[in-house]
Structure 1
Amino acid sequence: MDTQTSAQQAAREHHDDDHYDVVIVGAGPSGAVTAKRLVEAGFRVAVVEQGDWPDYSKARANFPDYELTLDRHWPWNPNRDVEGHGFEFDDSASTLTPLMWNGVGGSALVWAAQWQRNLPSDFRVRTLDGVADDWQLTYEDLEPFYVRVERDFGVSGLAGDPMFPAGDGPPMPPVPIREHGRRIAKAHNELGWHWWPGTNAIASRHYEHANLKACTQRAACMRGCPERAKSSPDITHWPQSLAKGVTLILRAQVRRVLMSSQGLAEGVMYTDEHGVDRSVRGDVVVLAANGIGTPRLLLLSADARHPDGLANGSGQVGRRLMMHPLGQVIGVWDDPVGTTHGVHGQQLHSLEFYETDESRGFVRGAKWGLLPSSGPLTQTRSYPWGSENAIWGPGFQDALRGRLGHSAWWAIICEDLPEDHNRVSLHTEKRDRFGDPLASIEYKTSDNSDRMLEFHLDRAVESMQAAGARQAIRGSWIKESAFHHLGTAVMGADPATSVVDGWGRAHEVPNLFIFDGSVWPTSAGMNPTATIAALALRNTEAMIAARSGQVTAS
């Protein structure tokens, strides 16, 4: 019996008269971290999730039809989810489409599993660069929680990266570096540019603590992992949490946070899979529904006391949306460089141009992750190659042979500074199947981000050329590339300008907490899951201590 089947059998049924210490909305990374730690501390916990368990019988990386069935079985645009577990949104006013997966484990089911801590400077952007806001904590505050979540998620990597403060590294060694990685590493050594073995939430060996098996290096990590080597909470967290007594309510669309006459959160209202409106009540409510779902739920929960949305006295709920503009540069070599296998995932990362250098004409920077170009269909698609680099037509076979196994790409994540006009709001006309307003996404990349991306694309071309690539192709922009959704319920010390305090507690509702990426004041230039998970664990520990009467979390 596998861990998922065991977890499903351990799940407890919820009854409407049940009362919990904590009710959590969302079973993705932040909700899973929070639930696991709370139940370990003896709390009664219920988690409400709009999706279902992932179906690993549809994880097709070990079958020839893998690339043909990606969107059918693992859609990352909820508007194309034929099973209807995701919530729809309207992105007609956005230059980027937010991508996510709704179900147990959240978007970690469809991520590349690149695991990156934020750098110390990411917590002090206002102090260092005079823009945006500082966080209400430092890297040093979060470092011990990084170590703990890396153990629980089963992260592979190598301690000692000179870009980071000294400290403990991941529990497993890094994944093997293949020929394309070795060539890039050699080139960066000659250029004097930073590189380091990639840190990934992918098991480089069997890792029993998180129920992970060793990666078989198929370079097909993004949409379900049939080997169960990629860390996602349905594998790493939920079996233990359910065995300890967490109640997990699935196929349940949360539509309102319920409020008492005293101004406290007392649970949530949801509609179940049969269309029946139900509720789950508790002493504390934690929102972990991502940077789109959380602000939408707060806005849907408006009442007479909170006419502009719950916890929105500052007017900041939904504003400051950051989605990390993504760029790519593909290198093509004359000879094979081992890119039909590996992790996807990152072989290496580079932070050479991460910190601000004002001479470049912008502030902040970007992280690069080196990825294999994978299977044959990927060589023909607009992402990452760019529609202007299509290979269809005469010479197709030769062009395909020239790319397959001969190409790799730098994925470039640019820091996205917060701007009020980039936001999530409630659509004035469009409704979902329950009659609630859709989330409306309004977003445009800033001039700072545009200049940053151009600079980094130019440098990544130089990297590929220095590594001997015969071609270095700047992949074109595509709309469906926003995997990270941050900043829409910002933390801060002043209730007039922020939604939650530094511990994720809503200024206006003292027993309502937000533990996902919504609370980020700035986006960093890193893959965010490591910091989302570490921050959720830190804030959960503070909640446990406060509820136990040991210390206060303020």
Structure 2
Amino acid sequence: MAEHSDVVIVGAGPSGAVAASELIAAGMSVTVLEQGDWVPADAFHGATRHWELTQLHEWHPNPNVRGRADDYPIDTSKSDVNPLMFAGVGGAALIYGAHWMRFMPSDFRVKTLDGVADDWPFAYEDLEPFYAYVEEAMAVSGRAGNTAYPDGAPCPLPPLPIGRVGRKAAEGMNELGWHWWPGSNAIPSRPYRSLQPCVLRGTCGTGCSDEAKATPDRTHWPEAIKRGVNLITGARVCEVETDAQGRASGVIWVDRDGARHRQSADVVILCANGIGTPRLLLTSELANRSGLVGKRLMMHPFAAVMGTFEEDLESWVGPAGQILTSMQFYETDKSRGFVRGAKWNCMPAGGPQSFRAGYGDGPLTDAWGAALHERVRRKFGRSFEWGIIGEDLPDEANQIVLSETLTDGDGLPAPEIRYQVSDNTRAMLDFHSARAVEAMEAAGAIETSVTSLIRDCGWHLMGTAVMGNDRETSVTNADGRCHDAPNLYVFDGSLFPTSSGMNPTATIMAVAAKCTLALIENRAEIETAA
């Protein structure tokens, strides 16, 4: 291990992968510290007969349930939603659904358009070339020309098949005259670089055993390491160190045996997600002159409408991500009683175990015995879901703090989540759920069920180290550079001023690419800043 690097990056997920790849290509020495490990494709169970029985054990998205040694506990006793994430090379992308969506142009101008939250310090047009860059790297499959976007949101690969589920969902949307489009996913529809084409198992959310889903451990890290990136796994960073001038001088990390190490660097970049990054800043007592570190947490409360049909829809067939999307009710219409909107994603119901997990569409007694058998007979293969991702507005009361009682395996304070779903969000999800029921009925559903809020839905962790132009009301500038420490950066979803109603990985990676380019261009200034 080198004693000093030009850059040290905390976290080997999507944003860390983009940053490391570009920095090493620019000739900078890079060390990456990841508290998790590599996960080989054959560790996932998707290709096995027992997949459904084991999927939510080892690969459960909630770290409090999963309880791997690489995880840290999170106090969620004061939160309406459980945060979901994963520690490992590739980050939570290892077990994401691979929904790939750009934010909409309006998402960057929420204050201007709707008088709430804040505008971003740049526009959709500024991020557009970086979207294109990461979409090519992530093997995004989709149909170009989506009428919801001014540029049609082009995709480098053709779309995955929409199957019987997609055709049935489209029938309902066409009957109502509502917008829909084939889903774009970070899953190749044909062989692409190191990735295999999707075989439509529908196991995306608990890891891809076929090496098809685009995750940074396959798309970025092998080449970055070949070029010279020093990626250290099993490394839990516990503190960012500073020098006498208040500049970041490196990090202290703990290995799996409990030994402490120091990695010095000219630049420190935090890519530890919307919980891990503010946790580390709070522990280190850094970059918080604004008082906003850990605040404005956004997690995208999620609702779902399931429809059951007479005909066989083969609704165990993948992908498990979005077969179709709809932005019919995405933009603000204040006559609805709330601001902003939501994106819909059409998803298959999965196998006989999958379609029951996580939903509240019936009494618990339906989950076993004769009732379960009858339910499976009636619904298996005949159901699909409209999932609803509503924009989560920033609220300083929704926040990450350090627990006074709970610690991780190394004795470091665990994060405590304080989060309540707002009245605006509840009204939004109620409206969209009612419209999704209409879409199901228009498609011919004989039965519908609504889950108004799924507790295990906090995949999207944003806003807890917000970027902006005013150092009094933001943690970093538009390039992710901390106002209070000129060589300390944040490149993950913590930066986001608003959440949009979109899955954020595309924007996390695009923003990381934009910020990395700025860092490279301003390297001399950073090295001499006081």
TM-score (norm 1): 0.93
1:67 partnered with 2:45: no
Structure 1: stretches of 5+ with no match in the other structure: 1-13, 302-308
1:94 partnered with 2:70: no
More displaced 10-residue stretch of structure 1: 183-192 or 338-347:
183-192
Query: Which residue does the alignment assign to 1:261?
Result: 244
More displaced 10-residue stretch of structure 1: 135-144 or 429-438:
429-438
Measure how far apart 1:81 and its partner are.
Answer: 3.5
Structure 2 distance, partners of 1:407, 1:289, is: 37
Please tell me whether the aligned partners of residues 303 and 454 of structure 2 are also in contact (alpha carbons under 8 angstroms): no
1:193 partnered with 2:178: yes
Structure 2 residue matching 1:377: 3-state secondary structure:
coil
Instruction: Report the CA distance shift for 1:547/1:372 in structure 2 as closer, same or farther (over 3 A).
Output: same
Structure 1 residue matching 2:280: 3-state secondary structure:
helix
1:531 partnered with 2:499: no
Instruction: Report the CA distance shift for 1:240/1:548 in structure 2 as closer, same or farther (over 3 A).
Output: farther
Query: Which residue does the alignment assign to 2:283?
Result: 300
Measure how far apart 1:58 and its partner are.
Answer: 2.1
Query: Which residue does the alignment assign to 1:11?
Result: none
Structure 2 residue matching 1:428: 3-state secondary structure:
strand
> What is the CA deviation profile of residues 124-163 of structure 1, one whole-angstrom value per residue up to 9, with x for unaligned ones?
0000000000000100000000000000011101111111
Structure 1 distance, partners of 2:278, 2:471, is: 16
Match of 1:334 among 285, 289, 310: 310
Query: Which residue does the alignment assign to 1:245?
Result: 228
Structure 1 distance, partners of 2:438, 2:365, is: 19
Instruction: Report the CA distance shift for 1:168/1:438 in structure 2 as closer, same or farther (over 3 A).
Output: closer
Measure how far apart 1:476 and its partner are.
Answer: 4.8
Identical-pair percentage: 50
Measure how far apart 1:120 and its partner are.
Answer: 0.3
Query: Which residue does the alignment assign to 2:257?
Result: 274
Query: Which residue does the alignment assign to 1:321?
Result: 297
Structure 1 residue matching 2:69: 3-state secondary structure:
coil
Measure how far apart 1:64 and its partner are.
Answer: 1.2
Structure 2 distance, partners of 1:167, 1:408, is: 27
1:114 partnered with 2:90: no
Structure 2 distance, partners of 1:319, 1:386, is: 35
TM-score (norm 2): 0.97
Query: Which residue does the alignment assign to 1:541?
Result: 517
> In structure 1, what residue type is equivalent to 2:233?
L
Measure how far apart 1:191 and its partner are.
Answer: 1.0
More displaced 10-residue stretch of structure 1: 181-190 or 358-367:
181-190
> What is the CA deviation profile of residues 174-231 of structure 1, one whole-angstrom value per residue up to 9, with x for unaligned ones?
10011121122122122110000000011111001xx110000011111111111111
Query: Which residue does the alignment assign to 2:359?
Result: 383
Instruction: Report the CA distance shift for 1:267/1:493 in structure 2 as closer, same or farther (over 3 A).
Output: same
> In structure 1, what residue type is equivalent to 2:331?
E
Please tell me whether the aligned partners of residues 385 and 476 of structure 1 are also in contact (alpha carbons under 8 angstroms): no
> What is the CA deviation profile of residues 319-364 of structure 1, one whole-angstrom value per residue up to 9, with x for unaligned ones?
0000101000001011101211120111100000000000000000
> In structure 1, what residue type is equivalent to 2:250?
G
Measure how far apart 1:383 and its partner are.
Answer: 2.5
Query: Which residue does the alignment assign to 2:116?
Result: 131
Structure 2 distance, partners of 1:281, 1:349, is: 45
Structure 1 segment 361-440 matched on structure 2, within 5 A: 361-383=337-359, 385=361, 387=363, 390=366, 392-440=368-416
Structure 2 distance, partners of 1:379, 1:168, is: 31
1:234 partnered with 2:217: yes
Measure how far apart 1:411 and its partner are.
Answer: 1.0
Structure 1 residue matching 2:103: 3-state secondary structure:
coil
Aligned length: 529
Instruction: Report the CA distance shift for 1:168/1:548 in structure 2 as closer, same or farther (over 3 A).
Output: farther
Please tell me whether the aligned partners of residues 379 and 400 of structure 1 are also in contact (alpha carbons under 8 angstroms): no
Measure how far apart 1:73 and its partner are.
Answer: 2.5
Measure how far apart 1:87 and its partner are.
Answer: 1.6
Structure 2 residue matching 1:390: 3-state secondary structure:
helix
Structure 2: stretches of 5+ with no match in the other structure: none
Structure 2 residue matching 1:222: 3-state secondary structure:
helix
Structure 2 distance, partners of 1:251, 1:65, is: 29
Structure 1 residue matching 2:268: 3-state secondary structure:
strand
Structure 2 residue matching 1:379: 3-state secondary structure:
coil
Structure 1 distance, partners of 2:88, 2:43, is: 15
Structure 1 segment 470-549 matched on structure 2, within 5 A: 470-547=446-523
Structure 1 distance, partners of 2:131, 2:329, is: 23
CA-atom RMSD, angstroms?
Answer: 1.8
